[in-house]
Structure 1
Amino acid sequence: MFKKAFFAGIPVAILCLGLLTGSCQSTGTNKRDKEGFTAIFDGKTLQGWEGDPTYWRVEEGALVGEITPTTLLKTNSFIIWKGGTPADFEFKGSFRITTDGNTGINYRSEQLTDIPFALKGYQADIDGKIRYTGQNYEERGRTTLAYRGEKVTVNTQQNAADPESFRANVKNNAWQARQVTGSLGSSDSLQTFIKSNDWNDFHLIIKGNRLLHYVNGKLMSDVTDNDTVNRKMQGLLGVQVHVGPPMKVQYRNLRIKQL
């Protein structure tokens, strides 16, 4: 059963709207590092984040999402960063996930009003069996935009805003108005760069309509989204625990840089 209690806080960064325009002079724990990134998770508390405490906590310096046999989900649940709605940015950090786990990093997303802590939008997909890690999946939207190893252009689909037309353009959990324009390597070869049950580094570069997902320094998917009907150019940032068996995911060193 969903619990109404949640974590929320106001980080120093939210007090400066310049974080989203590149003009913020950060102070305290929100100082920019030498690469221009600002930490958005302090490793100690959930200040600045909002989610269901049934599933989210801080443990040993990591943001932890966990599903247990007694807390199985009926819908995917997110913990959402409350520091703004980034448009063009880079996002870095590390993740570790159990074998049966399924998670993702959502960005340029919107929060649903009828489902608790649910996001709709782009997602850098991550799973413990490394079947999907690195791909670009649009949560509650166009579904798969690019599989791991693909360079893709997404084109505007005529009348895609119409619900029936929209559904008709999703087949086998993939958006049909996508065109594979190049290869970054086979999915299997890129999988060898992703570690199982261990820490992996991620790096998202989101600028204009170009969406790049890196894991451990390797480009895993590259999407150019020309779909002016369905794409989003800014929105919320959050991480997910997915419906399914008991699992645990950890995130740490979460840092953002406005472009």
Structure 2
Amino acid sequence: MNKRALRAKSGIWKGLACIALCYGFLSCKEKKTQPSEEKSTEILDKNDGFVKIFDGKTLNSWEGDPTYWRVENGNLVGEVTPETLLKNNTFIIWQGGQPDDFELKLEFRIAESGNSGINYRSEPIDTIPFALRGYQADIDGKIRYTGQNYEEKKRTTLAYRGEKVNINTQHNPDLPGSLRANVEKNCWQSREVVGSFGTSDSLKTKIKSEDWNEVHLVIKGNRLQHYVNGILMSDVTDNDTINRTLSGYLGVQVHVGPPMKVEYRNIRLKSL
């Protein structure tokens, strides 16, 4: 083979090697890009900060009376039947901690006859099994109270639906029995309404009857905000240093009354 032919053949091989090298480089670049995109998605999900505290399959990390609580179709179900009527409100209580500052998101569906609520920063009552005392995001099937802030077995109604409220220290806090003495018509009297988000009736139209609704609680310091379907329903600033609590148990309730059913799903917690 003459020198010219050898040079031509050598050039062909160099060209093929160059093409192979470029292809390999591009191939590696594509392989690196895909995992990077997956990692970004994973980090974005983690940055959301919410953690599921109900797995949709078991009652792990929850304690309640199995007569009233079960898992069904991926939902946490509380039910009272004609044979299991209650003498006291009963809760299923999350055992994973006693949150202080947090956000909680969940969805609920409740029968028209139902009465329930989401308790937070609450304490167990020693004399009643599975009972809590503390703040509650109220829920009911007739949508009379859903969205308000009610303090179970303590100061009663702190804010009706549509109210922005400052809670002040109770009158004569050193007098015996002064806690109950400061409650009138199931409402705490040492409170000041400082704003409004609309009438209770107008906000009621934003809540679906016997269908799924989302609750979002934003609880930080002494400010307690209850949202339903993305709409602020009540906003409490609790300046009552004697009676307020800054941490405690989470739980959901079935209430004394007629037979009822309430369902909860997608229960997620975020520490602040």
TM-score calculated relative to the size of structure 1: 0.87
Counterpart of 1:134 in structure 2: which amino acid?
G
CA distance in 2, matches of 1:200, 1:89: 20
CA distance in 2, matches of 1:38, 1:162: 43
Q: Is 1:96 matched with 2:109? A: yes
Counterpart of 1:149 in structure 2: which amino acid?
G
Work out which of the two has the higher radius of gyration on C-alpha atoms and give 1 or 2.
2
What secondary structure sits across from 2:177 in the alignment? Answer: helix
User: Contact 1:55/1:66 (CA < 8 Å) preserved in 2?
Assistant: yes
Counterpart of 1:40 in structure 2: which amino acid?
I
How many pairs are equivalent?
Answer: 229
What secondary structure sits across from 2:244 in the alignment? Answer: coil
Query: What does residue 238 of structure 2 align with?
Result: 225
CA distance in 1, matches of 2:131, 2:100: 20
2:182 is aligned, of 164, 169, 177, to: 169
Q: Is 1:240 matched with 2:253? A: yes
CA distance in 1, matches of 2:186, 2:81: 27
Unaligned residue ranges in structure 1 (runs of 5+): 1-30
CA distance in 1, matches of 2:150, 2:164: 14
User: For the structure 1 residues 117 and 207, does the alpha-carbon distance in structure 2 shift closer, same or farther, using more than 3 Å as the test?
Assistant: same
User: Contact 1:160/1:230 (CA < 8 Å) preserved in 2?
Assistant: no
Question: Which one has the bigger helix percentage?
Answer: 2
Offset at residue 167 of structure 1 (A): 1.4
User: For the structure 1 residues 227 and 94, does the alpha-carbon distance in structure 2 shift closer, same or farther, using more than 3 Å as the test?
Assistant: same
Superimposed CA distance per residue, residues 202-249 of structure 1 (whole angstroms, 9 cap, x where no aligned partner): 000000000000000000000000000000000000000000000000
CA distance in 1, matches of 2:82, 2:198: 38
Counterpart of 2:249 in structure 1: which amino acid?
L
CA distance in 1, matches of 2:94, 2:45: 20
User: For the structure 1 residues 248 and 33, does the alpha-carbon distance in structure 2 shift closer, same or farther, using more than 3 Å as the test?
Assistant: farther
What are the residue-to-residue correspondences of 1:138-217 with 2, within 5 Å?
138-160=151-173, 162-217=175-230
User: Contact 2:171/2:182 (CA < 8 Å) preserved in 1?
Assistant: no
Offset at residue 166 of structure 1 (A): 1.4
CA distance in 2, matches of 1:252, 1:129: 20
Moved over 3 A (4+): 31-34
Offset at residue 158 of structure 1 (A): 3.7
Unaligned residue ranges in structure 2 (runs of 5+): 1-42
Query: What does residue 90 of structure 2 align with?
Result: 77
Counterpart of 1:212 in structure 2: which amino acid?
Q
2:149 is aligned, of 131, 136, 145, to: 136
User: Contact 1:32/1:38 (CA < 8 Å) preserved in 2?
Assistant: no
Counterpart of 1:77 in structure 2: which amino acid?
T
CA distance in 1, matches of 2:267, 2:103: 11
Offset at residue 160 of structure 1 (A): 2.8
Query: What does residue 51 of structure 1 align with?
Result: 64
CA distance in 2, matches of 1:180, 1:241: 29
Counterpart of 2:88 in structure 1: which amino acid?
T
Q: Is 1:122 matched with 2:135? A: yes
User: For the structure 1 residues 70 and 126, does the alpha-carbon distance in structure 2 shift closer, same or farther, using more than 3 Å as the test?
Assistant: same
Counterpart of 1:110 in structure 2: which amino acid?
E
Counterpart of 1:240 in structure 2: which amino acid?
Q
Identity over aligned residues, as a percent? 72
Superimposed CA distance per residue, residues 123-153 of structure 1 (whole angstroms, 9 cap, x where no aligned partner): 0000000000000000000000000000000
CA distance in 2, matches of 1:151, 1:84: 29
